[in-house]
Every structure is written in structure tokens, then in C-alpha cells.
Amino acid sequence: MKKLPFWQVFFVVGILFLPSMAQAQVPAAAETKSFFINLDQATIAKGYTVAAFEQAIKLSLIPGILQAGTGVDLLELHEPMTEPWNLDRVSEIYQFEFRNHAAYDDTKPFIVQINYQAQDDNLKQVYYFDSNAAGWKPLPTKDYVSEGMARAYIHLPFARVAVFSNPEAMAVGQASWYGYKNGLFAASPDFPKGSKLLVTNLANQKSVAVEVNDYGPDRKLHPERAIDLDKTAFKKIASLRDGVIEVSIEPLFITEQNGRVLGVKIDGVADTPEINSQAALLIDDNSQAIIYERNANAVLPLASLTKIVTASVFLDANPDFSAVVAYRDADAERTWEHADKNEIASLRLKDGDELTIGDLFFTTLIASTNNTAETLVRLSGLERTEFIRQMNAKARGWGATSTVFVEPTGLSPLNVSTVLDYAIMTKAAFREPKLLAATALPEYKFTTWRDKKKVTARNTNKLIGGDFYVTGGKTGFLDEAGYCLMTKVKIGERELTGIIFGAPEREQSFIEMEDLLKYGIRQITHNR
């Protein structure tokens, strides 16, 4: 993680707007309002604030910003336009332009102020639309919450700008205190460690600058809490006896994470998530509507996502999950045909170790262990070739016509499917409650019967236990397949399934899945 450059994150404070001359507002069309003013040399020498649309937008052009006279056009736009998929627009979209571009020295930023209307407590920032990137980029912004307006620095003679609210960060709410390092520190669930914030007590307007060095409070338990302060910082703005106070939060520096600031990519955000994996799909399980797709019909290796179908075929034998069985080293040896035995995810067992069928089943799906997948095949009562034949027959019967399995673990790159096929298969396989439940457990513990060895299998899907209500999922990796991930989440009475094949990095698979799921949730909740 790194901190953004100073010019990107220093937020505007104490800006003085110069008096503006009254000008007539002239509607240019039913959809768009227009405003024009000509600034001569004498006017720009004194400095001038251009204000339009009942003061809804202002450009503060202090002396030295303009080097020559120019006309200034402003538009209040009402036309279809790309908007950030993960932000909420809370102002009109405005366009401004200096007709004489040469009059503006773009090494000197000027201030744009925009009024907004919002009912939420989230962080507000001014964004501009970058037509080259086809996305919106944030500007260094100060949010004047009580006045319903935001001010930002900008370096452009032409831009489309608007205020957006970021649901990833709470800017107004409650703060409590804790005793930890006895310094000017804070715990935040929104701003990453290393971020610097100005926290203001809304009751007395006292402020304290703090550095985020911990995570918290838990929003699931305290949805109204924006931040918690170390008691040393809390005492700067309130008495410890107050316990909980109402505060506003102004970012001073924000730590960058994975090329993003508060969930927004540094190079801008468009109207859909940026997915770079080889293939991706997001589907509404209730309506079967596809919300997002990328290369949905590309036939690719699916790695350990194979194990969902392996588990489904195994359940067809109606196994007794309480039955105690013996593990055999030959089960692991089956997997060595496809990968280096030292690099294969396996459950550490010795030949003859005894455990229940349930232990094997849950461990195979939760920890994606390959030797136990082969144990399930052996215990199914079917010859291995017949088991694999039934995997393929089941896939075809479900309608997954582009899917082929040559072995039951996913270690072979010849196990292939499409994200569209995989959505079909998981929908059918997850009708079995045991299978669905197994994939959503964060961990599974058991003790072997003979040696009384305690075993903990942890889920390889890091989204479980996070912000989503995950009801099912599976991870996978092969050199030839990249990182693969399927995650199923519940939103009220609705469910979404996201699938990614071929992410180049493990962390990227989770980041892109989070984006897909958040995008789908917004599509549902915002009725877009």
C-alpha cells in the first residue's frame, strides 16, 4: 500500500470566493440549461467568481489564474451519460469551458464549487469525466456537509463535473473512544491504515487530526458509528464522560490499496466494473437474468471448481455421512499424474487414518483438498472411469454442453467449461442442501478416529465472513487456468451468482468478484 501524491489528496480548506456579477440564465433547450459570460482583461486582473444556475456551480478565478480575456460557457446537462457504477450522483452534471483555452495556465489550479442534494452520511467528492478513459476521476475535495456543497481543485480549461456520494466511506456519524496507544490515532472500518483524517465534534466544532492505525468499529453491530478515536485524540474534542459524540470526517490523506482509493480506481470508474479475468459472469438466480458477462462462452480450464460436480455425483450414491472409513495413500497417488505432489493441495493423512465420510466431503469442498476428492470417488462404489463418465453425463443433462471432465479433482487442464455452463451446473448442484452448506462454511473441524489427530480445514474463499451474505462458493487454481472463483450471495429474497475464470492473481479474483457482486447488488437495490 502507498499514499497518494500530495496534490491528489490534500483537501481544499478556507477557500474565499470572490463576489460575482449577476447574469441572466438562458435555457438553451428543454434538456439543457446554458450560461455564458465574457471576462475581459480588467475583470480577470481583479479576480472573479463565475456563478451559474442559481449559484449551484461556481468557478473561483482568483488573480493570476487567467492570463487573457476569455468567454466562459457553463451547461447544466440533462442527457444520457456514463455514470460510476459504484457511486451515487447527488448533484447535476455541469460542463464548463474557457473559450480561449490559451488564457488559462493549467499549472495553476482553480476552485469549482457545486451544490448537492443528499440524504446520506457518506463521503462526497467532486469528480470529472475523463473522455479518454471513458470514466469519472475524483478531484481533491472538501465537503461542506452543513451547507450541502463541495469544493475541489481542478486544472482543466474544459470539464464535465458532478458530486458523487461514496457508499464505501461514512463521513458523518458517531464516534466513541478506546484506550490503546494513547496517541492521535483512530480505528476506521472505511479508511485504510495509514490514512489521515480530520475529525470534528459537531457539537462544539473542535477538531483533531488523527492517523488510522486499526480497524473498527464493527458496522454490523454499530451501524451508526463512523469511527472510534484513541482516548488521547477523543479528549482533544470532547470529555471521555461523553462516551459517544456526533462527528464529521474529512480525509487529509487516504492510503491507496490495490490501485484504488475507497474502492474507486485511481484511473477512473465507468458504468460497469473493470474485469480483466479471462471470463466472468454475474447472474440473478431468481430471474436467471445475466447482469454482467465477459467471454461467457469461452471454453477454459476450471481447475478445482470441478469439485462441485464431483461432490454432486458422490451424493447420488446416498452416502452415510456418519460412516467411518479409512484413507489410503493410493488416493493421493492418483493426483500425482497431473501435478507435482509437493504443490498439490492435500489433507495431511496417513494410510489407514480413519475419519467419517462427512469429514471427507466437507474438507474436500471447504479446503479444496485433492487427495480427499479421490477418496470420495473410491468410496462412491463406482469404478473411477464410471464416476468420471457420470460427471460428464450429469453436466450434459443439466444443459452444460461445453463442459468436459477427464478426472475428478480439477488438476488436469483438460477439465474445461464456460462460465455460462458453470452457472447452469452450480444452480443444479446447489439444490442439494449438504453441498451448498459445505461450500459456505468458514472452517470445518474434526478428529481422526484412530490417532485422535485434530484437523481444521479452512475455506479458501476469503469472501466468506466478509461484507456479503455468502451462501455458497468454490475456488480453484492451476497454472493453465489461472485463479477461478464462484461465489453465491443472498440479498433479501434475491440471490446472485458470480463466476470468474482465469484471473492472473489470487487477490485479483477476489477483488473482481467483490466488484461484480457489489455491481449486482446495486442493480437490484437501485432498480437500474
Could you report the per-residue pLDDT of 204-227, keeping only the tens digit for each? 999 999 999 999 999 989 999 999
Does 269 reside within a domain? no
Question: Kind and range of the H or E element at 234?
Answer: helix 231-237
Helices of type H across 316-351: 329-335
Q: Is 365 exposed, middle or buried (0-12, 13-18, 19+ CB in 10 A)?
A: buried
Q: Which residues contact 22 (CB under 8 A, 6 or more apart)?
A: none
Residue 200: the pLDDT is 97
Annotated binding site for substrate: 474
Q: Are 217 and 169 in contact (CB under 8 A)?
A: no
Q: Are 207 and 245 in contact (CB under 8 A)?
A: no
Over residues 160-186, the pLDDT tens digits come to 999 999 999 999 999 999 998 889 999
- How many C-beta atoms lie closer than 10 Å to residue 1's C-beta? 10
Q: Are 53 and 95 in contact (CB under 8 A)?
A: no
Q: Which one-letter amino acid corresponds to residue 169?
A: A
Measured between alpha carbons, how far is 129 from 131 in angstroms, rounded to an integer? Answer: 6
Residues of the chain with pLDDT under 70: 1-30, 527-528
Residue that has been written with the C-alpha cell 456519524 in this structure: 173
For residue 508, the SS3 value is helix
Measured between alpha carbons, how far is 524 from 520 in angstroms, rounded to an integer? Answer: 6
Statement to judge: residues 162 and 182 lie in one domain: no
> What total number of domains does the chain contain?
3
Residue 483: the pLDDT is 98
User: Using the 8-state DSSP alphabet, how is residue 145 labeled?
Assistant: G
Instruction: Give the domain-ending residue among 213, 229, 262.
Output: 262
Statement to judge: residues 44 and 157 lie in one domain: yes
Clarify whether 434 is annotated catalytic. Answer: no
Does 349 reside within a domain? yes
Residue 495: strand pairing partners: 490
Q: Are 356 and 325 in contact (CB under 8 A)?
A: yes
CA angle (220, 284, 294) in 5-degree steps = 105
Measured between alpha carbons, how far is 136 from 130 in angstroms, rounded to an integer? Answer: 6
Residue 472: the pLDDT is 97
Q: Are 171 and 216 in contact (CB under 8 A)?
A: no
Statement to judge: residues 116 and 44 lie in one domain: yes
Statement to judge: residues 346 and 459 lie in one domain: yes
Which of 60, 248, 368, 509 is an active site residue? 368
Measured between alpha carbons, how far is 187 from 230 in angstroms, rounded to an integer? Answer: 8
CATH number, domain of 203, equals: 2.40.40.10
User: Using the 8-state DSSP alphabet, how is residue 451 labeled?
Assistant: T
φ and ψ at residue 198, rounded to 5 degrees: -105, 115
Report in angstroms the alpha-carbon separations of 411 from 277, 345, 346, 359: 20, 10, 12, 21
Cell of 464: 466468506
Does 272 reside within a domain? no
User: Using the 8-state DSSP alphabet, how is residue 281 labeled?
Assistant: E
Measured between alpha carbons, how far is 24 from 27 in angstroms, rounded to an integer? Answer: 10
Does 273 reside within a domain? no
For residue 183, the SS3 value is coil
Statement to judge: residues 163 and 125 lie in one domain: yes
Statement to judge: residues 332 and 480 lie in one domain: yes
Does 267 reside within a domain? no
Q: Are 277 and 399 in contact (CB under 8 A)?
A: no
Nearest Cα residue to 376 out of 423, 451, 471, 308: 308
pTM of the model: 0.88
Annotated binding site: 474
**Judging by DSSP bridges, how do beta strands 225-230 and 172-178 pair with one another?**
parallel
Residue 228: the pLDDT is 97
Does 274 reside within a domain? no
Statement to judge: residues 26 and 125 lie in one domain: yes
Which of 91, 188, 195, 304 is an active site residue? 304
Measured between alpha carbons, how far is 298 from 421 in angstroms, rounded to an integer? Answer: 10
Measured between alpha carbons, how far is 46 from 63 in angstroms, rounded to an integer? Answer: 6
For residue 525, the SS3 value is helix
Nearest Cα residue to 445 out of 359, 370, 365: 359
Statement to judge: residues 17 and 64 lie in one domain: yes
Statement to judge: residues 175 and 301 lie in one domain: no
Q: Is 317 exposed, middle or buried (0-12, 13-18, 19+ CB in 10 A)?
A: middle
Question: Kind and range of the H or E element at 264?
Answer: strand 264-265
Does 293 reside within a domain? yes
Clarify whether 368 is annotated catalytic. Answer: yes
Measured between alpha carbons, how far is 155 from 334 in angstroms, rounded to an integer? Answer: 63
Over residues 438-450, the pLDDT tens digits come to 999 999 999 999 8
Statement to judge: residues 350 and 498 lie in one domain: yes
Statement to judge: residues 301 and 201 lie in one domain: no
Measured between alpha carbons, how far is 129 from 97 in angstroms, rounded to an integer? Answer: 13
Measured between alpha carbons, how far is 480 from 300 in angstroms, rounded to an integer? Answer: 9
Instruction: Give the domain-ending residue among 200, 228, 262.
Output: 262
Measured between alpha carbons, how far is 193 from 524 in angstroms, rounded to an integer? Answer: 32
Residue 295's domain comprises 279-525
CATH number, domain of 407, equals: 3.40.710.10
Instruction: Give the domain-ending residue among 262, 289, 310.
Output: 262
Clarify whether 287 is annotated catalytic. Answer: no
Q: 468-492: b or e for each residue (b if 16 or more CB lie within 10 Å)?
A: bebbbbbbbbbeebbbbbbbbbeee
Which of 265, 307, 488, 518 is an active site residue? 307
Does 468 reside within a domain? yes
Question: Kind and range of the H or E element at 472?
Answer: strand 470-478
Statement to judge: residues 520 and 414 lie in one domain: yes
Nearest Cα residue to 75 out of 46, 54, 96: 96
- State how far Cα 239 lies from the chain centre: 37
Residue 350: the pLDDT is 92
For residue 251, the SS3 value is strand
